[in-house]
Amino acid sequence: MSSVTETRRYPPPSYYEEVSNLPSQAEASPAVPGVDTPGADPGAGLLGAGLLGVGFLGAGPVTQAIHLPSLARLGNILEVRHIMDLDPAVAESVAGRVGARFSTSMDELLADPAVDIVAVCSPHQFHATQVIAACRAGKKAVLCEKPFAMNGAEAAAIAAVSAETGVPIIVGAMHTFDPGWLAAEQAWGELPGQVHTVRSSTVLPPNPRFEDFATEIVGRAAAPARDSNDPEVIKAMLTGGVMGLAIHDLPLVRRFTPDFADVEVLHAEIVRPFGYVISLRAGNVTIELRAAMNSTWEPSWAFEAIGDDAALGIDFTPSYVQAGSATARIRTAGKTTVLGPFGHNGYEGEWRHLAGLAAGTGTPPAAETLIHDLEFALAIAEAAAGRVGTDNDSEPLNEEQEVSA
Ligand SMILES: NC(=O)c1ccc[n+]([C@@H]2O[C@H](COP(=O)([O-])OP(=O)(O)OC[C@H]3O[C@@H](n4cnc5c(N)ncnc54)[C@H](O)[C@@H]3O)[C@@H](O)[C@H]2O)c1
């Protein structure tokens, strides 16, 4: 049985105490700070601060289909001013949509005084270098798409530079900024102490479907061909599944396993054409991570935290889709409390939070929380990949399906 043992105890995450903190939101909904009300002006509290300039490092599908539509709704506080991509045609085309400058050089973007906030949306292997460079360039805040580093050492280096320069960083784990999640966190009381089972279950169409719903994508890379019977490919799919998809919910999972001392993966297998089924234990909590990305269209993204006397269930809106917030249900004896849906989703929540940080309001997530979230994800990914070939439980579920994506 594969297992990864951490030698130290992890303190409770402090990430989640830092709800979206624009003054207008607190005013709009004083009972649940960070949660908006219909019609509330998302940026009213920052209007006096003037527009904040945004620059993107990497202008692929996530920039085009997720972030630019989110920013289009926040034009009273944020303005896209510079788009950088290694592919000049992509940089020019995407910049042209929003009337921004374009370049193919990170240094040029970081030297641009019009850029206050840097969004790192390049492939993951470049994240750490670019986040550190943005901090050193003296920008006001950095958004780094997930995962924000490839290993614990990189994460620690980022945290050190952020502390040294005072530049706040947030990671694009959008569910942690979703008003439905934030409202649940404020309302769940003693729930975390009694949760024994956590489930994250995702069914999504392939990303290009949602990307194409949102906009006309330029420069999309072709999906690489792969033999998903090859054990090394299976390992890579499990690692990629955890670090690319499950990672959105692992900071939420960790909210219910804050003090875990070890991560033990009990079962791990891939689902074709892309997905995974992973069971693990962390501390006293059993965790099930499931994902299936196939040719069906109807999305479902559910998160559950189950205790004997209370439980939390959240239905998230799918990634890429700007469809309002998650809806949370908190069940206690004889009572179910429904929270949401609220008017914006976690992507917009990220940007609201960033704008507040860049304007000098609010508190950034604790660096150690981001590091521990990453270490938690890496431990699961490594242990899941480590099960491949051990006892056949890493075999694909649907042998008859065509390999694609
Ligand atoms: N939050 C979410 O829901 C979500 C969903 C999917 C992906 N992501 C993350 O977003 C990021 C971008 O994803 P994507 O699908 O747009 O990726 P992608 O790899 O398809 O596109 C990235 C873009 O970066 C460019 N690029 C390559 N090297 C670069 C460099 N060194 N500097 C600047 N640009 C460079 C490429 O030309 C491309 O246009 C990834 O980190 C990914 O993990 C987030």
> Can you give the pLDDT at residue 260?
66
Under the banding of pLDDT at 50, 70 and 90, the label for residue 213 is confident
pLDDT at 380 over 60: yes
Q: Is 61 in the pocket of ligand 1 (CB under 6 A)?
A: yes
Q: What pTM does this model have?
A: 0.88
- Total residues belonging to the chain: 405
Q: What's the pLDDT at 321? A: 87
Average model confidence (pLDDT) across the chain:
86
Q: Report percent pLDDT > 90 for the chain.
A: 70
Distance set, CA 167 to CA 69, 280, 354 (Å): 25, 35, 11
Contact by Cβ (8 Å): 277, 267: yes
Residue 47 confidence (pLDDT): 52
The model's confidence at residue 322, banded by pLDDT at 50, 70 and 90, is: confident
Mean pLDDT calculated for residue range 140-147: 96
pLDDT surpassing 70 at residue 35: no
Residue 32 confidence (pLDDT) = 36
Residue with tokens 């559910």: 302
Q: How far is the CA of 40 from the centre of ligand 1 (A)?
A: 32
| pLDDT tops 70 at residue 399 | no
At residue 226 the predicted structure's pLDDT band, cuts being 50, 70 and 90, is confident
Any atom of ligand 1 within 6 Å of the Cβ of 90: yes
The reply to whether ligand 1 has any atom less than 6 angstroms from the CB of 184 is no
Position 38 pLDDT exceeds 50: no
Q: How far is the CA of 94 from the centre of ligand 1 (A)?
A: 14
pLDDT of res. 166: 95
- Pairing mode of beta strands 117-120, 195-204: unpaired
pLDDT category at 48 given cuts 50, 70, 90 is low
Pocket of ligand 1 contains residue 58 by CB under 6 Å: yes
pLDDT in tens, 251-289: 999 999 976 668 999 999 999 999 999 999 998 999 999
Cα-to-centroid distance, 147 and ligand 1 (Å): 11
Q: What is the mean pLDDT of residues 31-58?
A: 62
Residues whose CB is less than 8 angstroms from the CB of residue 321 and which lie 6 or more positions away in sequence, other chains included: 210, 213, 214, 299, 345
Ligand 1 nearest-atom number relative to CA 220 = 20
Give me the pLDDT at residue 10, please. Answer: 36
Residue 10 CA to ligand 1 center (angstroms) comes to 30
CA-319 nearest atom, ligand 1: 3
Confirm or reject CATH 3.40.47.10 for domain 177-347+361-386, answering yes or no.
no
Each residue's pLDDT tens digit, 193-205:
999 999 999 999 8
Domain locations in the chain as residue ranges: 19-172, 177-347+361-386
| Pairing assessment for the beta strands 274-282 and 285-293 based on DSSP bridges | antiparallel
pLDDT of residue 227: 86
Q: Is the CB of 141 under 6 A from ligand 1?
A: no
Ligand 1 neighbour 126 (Cβ under 6 A): yes
With a cut of 70, say whether residue 401 has pLDDT above it: no
Tell me: pLDDT of 223 over 90: no
- Which ligand 1 atom sits nearest the alpha carbon of residue 127? 41
CATH class, range 19-172: alpha beta
Contact 251 CB / ligand 1 (< 6 Å): no
Q: What is the mean pLDDT of residues 325-354?
A: 96
* Tens digits of residue pLDDT in 281-317: 998 999 999 999 988 888 999 999 999 999 999 999 9
Three-state SS string over the chain comes to CCCEECCCCCCCCCHHHCCCCCHHHHHHCCCCCCCCCCCCCCCHHHHHHCCEEEEEECCCHHHHHHHHHHHHCCCCCEEEEEEECCCHHHHHHHHHHHCCEEECCHHHHHCCCCCCEEEECCCHHHHHHHHHHHHHCCCCEEEECCCCCCCHHHHHHHHHHHHHHCCCEEECCHHHHCHHHHHHHHHCCCHHHHEEEEEEEEEECCHHHHHHHHCCCCCCCCCCCCCCCCHHHHHHHHHHHHHHCHHHCHHHHHHCCCCCCEEEEEEEEECCCEEEEEEEEECCEEEEEEEEECCCCCCEEEEEEEECCEEEEEEECCCCCCCCCCEEEEEECCEEEEECCCCCCHHHHHHHHHHHHHCCCCCCCCHHHHHHHHHHHHHHHHHHHHCCCCCCCCCCCCCCCCCCC
63-86: pLDDT as tens digits: 999 999 999 999 999 999 999 999
- pLDDT value of residue 183: 97
Exposure string for 90-117, b = 16+ CB within 10 A, e = fewer: bbbbbbebbebbbbeebeebbebeebbb
Q: Pick the more confident residue, 93 or 369.
A: 93
Let me know: does 383 contact 3? Beta carbons within 8 Å: yes
Whether 156 has a pLDDT exceeding 70, the answer reads: yes
